[in-house]
Copies of this chain bind each other. A is one copy, B any other.
Amino acid sequence: MAAPGPVHEALAALPLVDHHCHGAVTADLTAGQFASLLTEGAAWPGVSPFDTPAGVAVRRHCAPLLDLPRHAPPADYAARRAELGWREVNRRFLAAAGAEVFCVDTGFAPHPLTTPAELGAAAGATACEVVRLERVAEAVVARGVEAGEYAAVFRAAAEEAVRRPGVVAVKSVAAYRTGFALDPGRPTDTEVTRAARHWAARGGRLADPVLVRHLLWTAVDLGLPLQLHTGFGDADLRLHHADPALLTDWLRLTAGTVPVLLLHCWPYHRQAAYLAAVFEHVYLDVGLALHHTGPARCRAVLEEALEVTPFRKLLYSSDAYGVAEFHHLGALCFRRGLAGLLQDRVDADELSLADALRIADWTGRGNARRLYGPPVSEPDGLSMSEAARDPGGRPTRKV
């Protein structure tokens, strides 16, 4: 199906680093359960989640991997999926993704999900872990902590979490909790203690602006690349509070520290591209938007994201959650969309073929390797987690 040309061929064959995704469900799903995982919304009476760009793309591009015809009806799709069983379904799609490394956010699991190791095994790939810091903080408070000890205990817990083998990055969902229109400065100990006291009294998830700021600054102290949810997500979000441009003051203060990876970004991917163009430590991807906009539009989103982004600053992620279809579809959309735009530029003599192939390799794999370290599968290489703690290994890290 792919248009011919050497860039298409190169990207079709490139082992990707999916630098941000989640696990796949480890249970057989009813048709309704499966459909509800196709959407960032929910299952609504009378509105099938298949009747979306993502649903259409699943029927077109995933059905054949389940031995069904293209554009198979939703009922056939769900039935065949159940027939094959979750292990076989996961295996087929994860292998089809063609990734050499998956970096798995383990901090969001309302469904039973594959561990990183299980995901890697099913895919025949290396799997690394991304630690979601809100979950670490919430576990600290759930176990009980004196307000005055919160900062130290959270930091120790985070340090312990990132020492686990295979951890390559941390992540924050501050976008969901307070949004980015925050005081950018590091809060004082007194402020943190007071806020921790209120949180402990009130309970619930981490949503205090002081503690969210404190979490972001703790992330900087940890020294690992920091992934930030921005833009597109589910109904729990205020989209306009997740515009990464709102992070500008904080990015100015954190210049020279850890790499900051803006995830998803759509529909603020041009704002993210500006940030990546002017701040050395800022990177972006358009994960989630790839499979949700589908093969018909992912190229357009990539074109906008690449308008001013330095080619060293764009990464690939699927942000797939739950259904392994999305680990595959994200990769497929990325390969096709990027290949289409690069090949057209080569054909118009706007870009040399050598440059196009370099950009494909960088964005598909090289930029992530550079940030996170070489995959553990490379002989004699540092493990990704060891490399990630070695500032010397990555020119963009200064502390």
What residues of B have a CB within 8 angstroms of the CB of A53 in the complex?
306-309
Shortest CB-to-CB span from A140 to chain B, Å, is: 28
Decide if B52 touches A311 in the complex (CB within 8 Å).
Answer: yes
Contact residues of A: prevailing secondary structure: loop
Asked whether A41 lies within 8 Å of B279 as measured between CB atoms, the reply is yes
| A249 CA / B236 CA spacing, docked (Å) | 10
Is residue A278 within 8 Å, beta carbon to beta carbon, of the partner chain?
A: yes
CB distance from A351 to the nearest CB of B (A): 6
Among the listed B1, B39, B245, B297, which residue makes an inter-chain contact with A277, where contact means beta carbons less than 8 Å apart?
B39
A: number of interface residues (CB 8 Å)? 72
- The reply to whether B232 and A238 contact each other, CB–CB distance below 8 Å, is no
Q: Is A267 a contact partner of B274 (Cβ separation < 8 A)?
A: yes
Copies of this chain, whole number: 3
* Alpha-carbon distance between A88 and B207 when the two chains are bound, in angstroms: 60
| A396 contacts the other chain (CB 8 A) | yes
Of B56, B237, B248, B267, the contact of A270 (CB 8 Å cutoff): B267
Chain A contacts to B: CB under 8 angstroms? 1, 39-42, 44-47, 49, 51-54, 56-57, 60, 70-71, 232, 234-235, 237-240, 243, 245-246, 248-249, 252, 266-267, 270-271, 274-275, 277-280, 289, 292-297, 300-301, 303-304, 306-313, 341, 345, 348-352, 355, 370, 395-396
Known: A41-B277, A232-B308, A238-B245. 18 other contacts (CB 8 A): A39-B310, A46-B370, A51-B310, A51-B312, A52-B277, A52-B309, A52-B311, A237-B248, A237-B278, A240-B271, A267-B270, A289-B307, A289-B308, A292-B307, A292-B308, A296-B341, A296-B348, A297-B306
